[in-house]
């Protein structure tokens, strides 16, 4: 048995998320079908994070166990061949020890959220950004974001159906920058609650619009109540960009 660690990118549009589901096509199903077509095996592909419907990935990590010890490039190229009809690509495939687990071995995850902040709507990037036509105050959002850094109970920013055992997480970074007509939110933590990034971005948009101040964001955090938080940003602008492991 050989275990392979894969780094993948995908366009989340048209998928019900990473996980195989009965109500539509998941990225996991596409990859597992490619494994079967390539290697003739019904293997389960385990990912570092179960991205939601419409959420994209630039650096998703997954692993798969195959009976034969294939060359790494063969695994990558064969899977890509059998997924060519879908917006999913294996960037790298590396042989790893059997104690590696894409999800449980991960020590950090990074997400990027993109807001297109201009009056004209997107044409080429429709479904890939959150279009916000009203001008946003980036310095105010960046200042307010400091409230969320650190070890907190993030109940106000978790989905009501989140299945995490605890709402307490440590947010390592939340950097907000202007990049041309876009506003980028670069967020890092060991792990996240369901919808945590999207709920934080939605709340920070209110700060950018002047509806909230940093004190309002602090009050929402302290309330430990989802109803006290801001809106959930759409999945369009969210990307899983990197998963960190102890060796790198």
Longest dimension (CA), the chain: 58
52 catalytic? Reply is yes
| Residue the block writes with tokens 């495939």 | 93
Phi/psi of residue 217, nearest 5 degrees: -65, -40
Catalytic residue among 11, 52, 97, 222: 52
Q: Which residues are catalytic?
A: 52
């Amino acid at each position: 048995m050989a275990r392979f660690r894969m780094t993948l990118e995908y366009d989340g549009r048209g998928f019900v998320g990473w996980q195989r589901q009965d109500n539509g096509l998941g990225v996991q199903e596409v990859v597992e079908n490619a494994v079967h077509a390539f290697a003739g095996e019904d293997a389960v592909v385990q990912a570092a994070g179960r991205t939601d419907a419409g959420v994209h990935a630039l650096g998703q990590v997954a692993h798969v166990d195959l009976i034969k010890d294939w060359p790494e490039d063969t695994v990558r190229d064969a899977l890509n061949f059998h997924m060519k009809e879908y917006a999913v690509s294996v960037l790298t495939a590396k042989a790893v020890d059997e104690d590696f687990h894409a999800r449980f071995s991960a020590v950090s995850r990074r997400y990027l959220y993109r807001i297109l902040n201009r009056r004209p709507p997107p044409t080429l990037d429709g479904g890939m950004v959150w279009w916000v036509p009203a001008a946003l105050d980036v310095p105010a959002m960046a200042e307010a974001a400091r409230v969320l850094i650190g070890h907190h109970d993030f109940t106000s920013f978790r989905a009501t159906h989140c299945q995490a055992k605890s709402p307490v997480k440590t947010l390592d970074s939340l950097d907000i920058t202007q990049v041309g007509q876009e506003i980028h939110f670069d967020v890092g933590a060991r792990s996240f609650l369901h919808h945590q990034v999207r709920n934080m971005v939605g709340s920070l948009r209110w700060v950018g619009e002047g509806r909230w101040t940093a004190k309002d964001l602090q009050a929402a955090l302290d309330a430990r109540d989802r109803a006290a938080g801001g809106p959930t940003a759409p999945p369009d602008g969210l990307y899983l960009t990197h998963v960190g492991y102890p060796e790198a």
